Structure 1
Amino acid sequence: MAGDIKGDLQAYDDINVTPMLDLAYVLLVVFIIMTTASVQGVKVESPQTLAANNLAKPQTKGITITADGQVYLDAYPVSLEELQSTLAQYKAANPALPVILKADAAAQYDKVMAVLEIAKRLDITEIGLATKRAQ
């Protein structure tokens, strides 16, 4: 009988890693979903207008000015000098670079004018001003 029990026992030469790989794939998917969900724009209170069809083009760059005067380029905070150099690089790659300016209704007017002056110096002619439709 002792020989029968010994014959039934086998040494395990390999470890089944399938459950561990399944867990790794699930964690990877959760990480990807959480990372893309956390990338969002900067919230500002846009002024209202009756103009319609203020649609952004596919390769549009967005400039946001908050109520406290902070300037963002595609949700990343920048100074006016960084804004000019970065927009110059984008303009070199795409001569017909469209830009959308989204400023808070309470933003300082001189910040808006400074951003528009930068666009004028770089010869960016396609500029949209983001607003909300008046009720």
Structure 2
Amino acid sequence: MNKAYQTYQNNAVNTASGGELTLMLYNGCMKFIKQAIRDMSAKNYEAKNTNIQKAQNIIQELMITLDPKVEISNQIMPLYDYIHFRLKEANVQNDPVILEEVLGFVTEFRDTWKQVILKTRQQQYDQGARV
């Protein structure tokens, strides 16, 4: 059963559009931050560290994939940089309040991105219906 799920996940990633991959990154980042919060309360600092590092890696990936030629990227980059910095602070200080703050930002990014994908799909559907 586990192998079937892994195959499904691999296929989902391999067939996803760029927008869907970004959405997956946001969802993964949220998952790791939530797990790090649980790890902190359980005083499992090794797992907390691992999960925060995974969230940081995702934010770094999002930073790398920003297109500097697109105007909005210049506004998003400082926010990603701030999130990355706060993740480091949360890790060093073992502060779940900082993680909750970062989770809020990542959730907003994810929700906004989800709306962009839905709007794009609707526009594509509308254009297809007119042809």
Q: Normalising to structure 1: TM-score of the pair? A: 0.26
Q: Which has the higher helix share?
A: 2
